[in-house]
Amino acid sequence: MDTVMAYNHRVSYALTGATPMKSSLKFAALALVSAATLASPAFAALKEGTQAPDFSAPAYLAGKPFTFKLADALKNGPVVVYFFPAPHTSGCNVEAHLFSEAIDQFKALHATVIGVTAGNLDQLADFSRETEHCGGKFAVAADKGATIAKQYDATLLMRPGWSDRTSYVIDSSGKITHVYSSLNPDKHVQETLAAVKAIEAPTK
């Protein structure tokens, strides 16, 4: 039970930055959910080498609405599709800021970055333009009902209506070349940037 509670605390903190809950009743309820989670595969994302499901979705860039279409983006080069639980939560704030800081490196490799979320959709426009988050440097898409996340096996086990923190790199043919799934936001940029560089590297 201690292991289950510790796991739940890590998930809660990764999403919101909240300190562990003190209520024993809440512990007990969450423990039941966490036990099921721990019994499930830890990595349920689509596999490398498979074709990425096509999608289009309402999105925002610097607060301005538009429709993001994966097929159109792939015409320009690789696409990084990173799913995240919800804007204005601790881990997602960090992840967005890290992507915004690295966006010029992705652009230099002709890669498009698109964030996709099913949580707090009413806050997504602001999130897309706020300097401390996306900073207007890349777009974020609204995935109402986690429809796209379900196609990509990227729903959050602890909260199925939200997307998990899973990043995909898709080459211009639409094939998934790299998958990285972790609630910790720190390495998503590093992982996806390295994967994009591998696509762009000349074949010897």
Q: What is the pLDDT of residues 167-189, one digit of tens each?
A: 999 999 999 999 999 999 999 99
| Rounded-to-10 torsion of CA 138, 144, 147, 148 | 0
- Average pLDDT value for residue range 33-47: 48
Between 51 and 40, the higher pLDDT residue: 51
Q: For residue range 93-146, what is the model confidence (pLDDT) as tens digits?
A: 999 999 999 999 999 999 999 999 999 999 999 999 999 999 999 999 999 999
Query: Is the pLDDT assigned to residue 51 strictly greater than 70?
Result: yes
What's the CATH class of domain 56-200? alpha beta
What is the predicted pLDDT for the residue at 13?
Answer: 45
Select the highest-mean-pLDDT range: 13-27, 78-92, 150-164. 78-92
* Model confidence pLDDT, tens digit, residues 14-26: 554 443 443 333 3
pLDDT, position 157: 87
Coil, strand, or helix at residue 149?
helix
Residue partners of 153: CB distance under 8 A and separation at least 6: 44, 45, 46
Mean pLDDT on 67-75: 98
Q: What is the pLDDT, as a whole number, of residue 202?
A: 55
For residue 42, what pLDDT is reported?
38
pTM of the model: 0.80
Q: Which SS3 state, helix, strand or coil, does residue 125 take?
A: helix
DSSP state of 155: E
Q: Is pLDDT above 70 for 166?
A: yes
Using one digit for the tens of pLDDT, what is the confidence trace for 91-102? 999 999 999 999
The letter for the amino acid at 190 is Q
Q: Which alpha helices (H) appear in the chain, and where do they start and end?
A: 2-16, 24-39, 70-74, 90-108, 124-129, 147-151, 188-200
pLDDT of residue 200: 73
